[in-house]
Amino acid sequence: MDATTQITPTFLTQRELSELLRMPERTLEDWRLMQTGPPYIKLGRLVRYDVQDVLTWVREHRHG
């Protein structure tokens, strides 16, 4: 088994991310339109969020 087969990224749906961040799904949609929210991936019509990208984005937006 090589290094690439050991990597298992976890992708969240919009609903899962909204539950994780405790905010409305509509806010995530607005952020995508304004290009201000966490990075996302489009797979056809599906939107997915890489957990590591989201955690990095959250840390970068921390105040105090």
Residue written as token pair 């995508």: 32
pLDDT reported for residue 3? 60
Task: Taking residues 14-28, report their average pLDDT.
Answer: 97
Task: Taking residues 31-47, report their average pLDDT.
Answer: 96
Phi, psi at 50, each rounded to 5°? -75, 125
Tokens of 62: 């921390």
What is the overall mean pLDDT for the chain?
A: 91
Residue written as token pair 């969020």: 49
pLDDT reported for residue 9? 75
Report which residue type is found at 32. R
Distance CA 63, CA 39 (A): 19
Task: Taking residues 21-40, report their average pLDDT.
Answer: 96
Residue written as token pair 């990095």: 56
Closest CA to 39 of 50, 23, 30: 50
